[in-house]
Amino acid sequence: MNELQRAEYLSALGIPSYMPRFVLPLAPEPRQAELPPAPVEEPQNPLPASAEHIRRELAPAETALQQAAPRQPAAQPEQPSPDVLREVAAVAGEIRAPAAQPAPVAEVAPPQKPVEPFVLSCWWLGGELLAVDSREPGAALPVESLFNNIARALHWHELPREQDRMRWPLAENRFGPAASAAEARDTCSSWLAAASARRPVKSIWLMGQQAQDFCAPVELAETVNDWNGIAVIAMPSLSQLLQQPERKRDLWQLLRQAYPEQTRAR
């Protein structure tokens, strides 16, 4: 029984046939199944066996045509007159083929550098603040304590607090291409816009390089930027402040400039 008959028998019994397109794990090596012989069709117009056969078939027809056609002298080609030659030369001198223009070369966009996975920590403090911090996984730094101290210095430590974390990429695909910076920027900025619409705040802190590069809703031309009435402030990440304590002084001066009422001595 060949493979075609086997498939027809199984189909008649209501058993579907399945054939994977690649070798499954632990499966034996595939082998060619026996197939029914292909039907041989005789051509309607078989080709001649040889050139001698063609000559024998066409010889009677050629002889008949030679006997029926009258012999005529070979016609001499007509020579053009000198006037025609002069006109042709004049026209050829006036007409010049346009120089071939090189075909425009399509510009090829340079390949985009893939973005390494990163994690962003987010804090909401009432209706005042949304802080987005660029984390350094595995650093084991007390970033939570430092953020609580900053909130206490601004007298925001008693406000209702919500905390979240965002990972990029959202779903890791080991078999697909690495996510580009444009994809990360579109996803993170859209997330920030949706989060601000869901929980309106007066200020947004973008702390660290990833938060500023991928979450900024506007171009960060200044340290303090305006976005639809919301102050968007670029500042170092909590990990950078802990690793470089001398930068805390500059951060405090920035907070005093942006929040004079909250940082005024009481």
Which burial class, exposed, middle or buried, applies to 141 when counting CB atoms under 10 A from its CB (0-12, 13-18, 19+)?
A: middle
Task: Quickly state the pLDDT bin for 175 (edges 50, 70, 90).
Answer: very low
- What is the distance, to the nearest Å, from the Cα of residue 17 to the centroid of all Cα atoms in its chain? 37
Domain segments of the chain as ranges: 118-261
Neighbours of 178 (CB within 10 A): 14
Task: Quickly state the pLDDT bin for 117 (edges 50, 70, 90).
Answer: confident
**Are 132 and 211 a contacting pair, CB within 8 Å?**
yes
Tokens linked to 258: 């942006």
Residues 254 and 233: their CA atoms lie apart, in Å, by 9
Mean pLDDT across the chain, nearest whole number? Answer: 79
Mean pLDDT of the 85-98 span: 61
Model confidence pLDDT, tens digit, residues 215-259? 999 999 888 999 999 999 999 999 999 999 999 999 999 999 999
* Higher pLDDT pick, 207 / 55: 207
Whether 75 shows a pLDDT value over 60: the answer reads no
Task: Quickly state the pLDDT bin for 11 (edges 50, 70, 90).
Answer: confident
SS3 state at 155: coil
Amino acid at 167: R
Whether 167 shows a pLDDT value over 50: the answer reads yes
pLDDT reported for residue 143? 92
Model confidence pLDDT, tens digit, residues 199-227? 999 999 999 999 999 999 999 988 899 99
pTM above 0.75, yes or no: no
**Are 188 and 215 a contacting pair, CB within 8 Å?**
yes
pLDDT reported for residue 48? 57
Residues 157 and 151: their CA atoms lie apart, in Å, by 5
Looking up tokens 């063609």 gives 54
Instruction: Tell me the β-bridge partners of 183.
Output: none
Tokens linked to 242: 């802990």
pLDDT reported for residue 73? 57
State the pairing for strand pair 161-168/118-125. antiparallel
Top CATH class, 118-261: alpha beta
8-22, 125-139, 239-253: range with lowest mean pLDDT: 8-22
Q: Is the peptide bond before 217 cis (omega within 30 degrees of 0)?
A: no
